[in-house]
Structure 1
């Protein structure tokens, strides 16, 4: 029988020598005598026996009712012993490794840090809820590993990098992210977040929306990642925390000042991300001149001075129409309203973006039709002119 509860970590910890020194995790020594030393991954595996009740190898199917329960041995083999050379990301929650399972499946393995104070019961509930999430704009959580103090999450691997790399990386004077692609990325992010906010109960607040957490597939479709330990909230509820999580420049002011967290915190971060995608600028950039350091303040000034066209990322191959640009900027500015209650919900944001996208397509079709009409008129005029010229020449003969 598999225990329904994940054993809580207790004092008396022993270090497991796996991975980077600063990220090594610990497991409970409650069953280890004071004179006994365990410094290898096998120690953690044997500790799992008390958790699973079935030896050192965990069951293939998770007792949470979804996905897989991966063993530490499996994930260690997939990541070459949590090798530093295959690290693809680090953050406040943990360190992420690229891995390949025995069946050839590419995965991203997140080793959660043990110093984050994540309660065992909360871990179980959140993994159970988020593990059932299925949306094309959310990175899929495939399973997890619980052995000793190890808490690891296994995600699908998205192989076209993240948004930060494509916006701020060295992609040349003109990048591959066209205006249409950027709008599609914004819309995809909005749909993924709308599902977390409005399609689940309890709803999920991401807490760390930023460009590096938006992964892209080969068709430039956006997939929101790193929501495995986001905060779950009941309907119409907020959460007050003494530990603000997030990234400089993206954090909503009321969350930073008071610790008050709800989905409107995500809306603010999303608005910042729209600005970043459109302008190609970082939310906070101290290398820029005074008045341009803070993206929100600079953008508001530019829009107020009727200089919206000047904010567009110069790496966009073909700039958008003035009307299309202004509509997207309006959405972004509404998202970062200082009054959280005035920020739109994600569903409303999708409606505004799709209306803009439809308008932009209609505008292009109209332009194409006008160009075609002009070309026909010019051709007809040319043919008429040639016909008249021939008739005049015949008369002269």
Structure 2
């Protein structure tokens, strides 16, 4: 997920003309032979004109990953990619798609995670993570709380309230450093 965050950071802030992916989801992330994530499928990506922070489009991306302003008004901005990234981050650690059958009416992936914070994270976390960590539950819960909090910040309803990808990348690297330190690596 750090690789994906770094790629988005580059697209959004790496040149004077930001690139908005517009359809970030797990199916559009490929792993190379070294397990490095590569963002792919730029079919509906938008180039923002210099000084432009948002634009309108009639092209819709994938349901479940769309930022509210994109789905309802067709407004595209780098903050929409941040929203999609937050959803993807939740999906990776819960192993639940935002379109899962369990998410009906008022229950969504975001509300499910939000309601689990901070005391019920075990109920939403992918159980395979415990097997790989050798059962060190306290280590996982501490760091997963930080990751889910970051994902929820990416998915704020208001685009202005969302983090930018530079902050997301820095936060993930900090969490990774803490995890590796906690595991003695």
Q: TM-score, normalised by structure 1?
A: 0.43
Question: Relative to 1, partners in 2 of residues 1:263 and 1:290: Cα closer, same or farther, differing over 3 Å?
Answer: closer
C-alpha distance in structure 2 between counterparts of 1:235 and 1:324, whole Å:
38
1:274 corresponds to which residue? 89
Question: Relative to 1, partners in 2 of residues 1:200 and 1:228: Cα closer, same or farther, differing over 3 Å?
Answer: farther
CA contact (8 A) 2:30 2:39 kept: yes
C-alpha distance in structure 2 between counterparts of 1:289 and 1:333, whole Å:
17
C-alpha distance in structure 2 between counterparts of 1:326 and 1:231, whole Å:
33
1:196 corresponds to which residue? 11
Helix, strand or coil at the partner of 2:47: strand
Residues 1:345 and 2:164 are matched in the alignment? yes
C-alpha distance in structure 1 between counterparts of 2:15 and 2:60, whole Å:
22
1:362 deviates by 1.5
Residues 1:318 and 2:137 are matched in the alignment? no
Structure 1, unmatched stretches of 5+, are: 1-185, 369-397
C-alpha distance in structure 2 between counterparts of 1:289 and 1:197, whole Å:
31
1:213 corresponds to which residue? 28
C-alpha distance in structure 2 between counterparts of 1:214 and 1:235, whole Å:
27
Structure 2, unmatched stretches of 5+, are: 134-138
Residues 1:240 and 2:56 are matched in the alignment? yes
Describe the superposition over 1:214-242 as per-residue Cα deviations: whole angstroms up to 9, x where unpaired.
0012322100000254100024421012x
1:346 deviates by 0.4
Helix, strand or coil at the partner of 2:132: coil
C-alpha distance in structure 2 between counterparts of 1:339 and 1:248, whole Å:
18
2:42 corresponds to which residue? 227
Which protein has greater RCO, CA pairs closer than 8 Å, 6+ apart? 2
Describe the superposition over 1:269-308 as per-residue Cα deviations: whole angstroms up to 9, x where unpaired.
000000000000011112x27579621121111226x201
C-alpha distance in structure 2 between counterparts of 1:322 and 1:254, whole Å:
32
For structure 1, which segment, 200-209 or 314-323, has the greater mean C-alpha deviation from structure 2 after superposition?
A: 314-323
C-alpha distance in structure 1 between counterparts of 2:49 and 2:147, whole Å:
31
Structural mapping, 1:1-397, within 5 Å: 186-237=1-52, 238-241=54-57, 243-286=58-101, 288=102, 294-303=108-117, 306-316=119-129, 317-319=131-133, 321-365=140-184
Number of matched pairs: 178
2:136 corresponds to which residue? none
- Work out which of the two has the higher radius of gyration on C-alpha atoms and give 1 or 2: 1
1:149 corresponds to which residue? none
Describe the superposition over 1:23-48 as per-residue Cα deviations: whole angstroms up to 9, x where unpaired.
xxxxxxxxxxxxxxxxxxxxxxxxxx
1:264 deviates by 0.2
Question: Relative to 1, partners in 2 of residues 1:315 and 1:321: Cα closer, same or farther, differing over 3 Å?
Answer: closer
Bigger strand share: 1
C-alpha distance in structure 2 between counterparts of 1:310 and 1:203, whole Å:
38
Question: Relative to 1, partners in 2 of residues 1:200 and 1:289: Cα closer, same or farther, differing over 3 Å?
Answer: closer
1:318 deviates by 2.4
Bigger helix share: 2
Describe the superposition over 1:156-196 as per-residue Cα deviations: whole angstroms up to 9, x where unpaired.
xxxxxxxxxxxxxxxxxxxxxxxxxxxxxx00000011111
CA contact (8 A) 1:204 1:231 kept: yes
CA contact (8 A) 2:22 2:44 kept: no
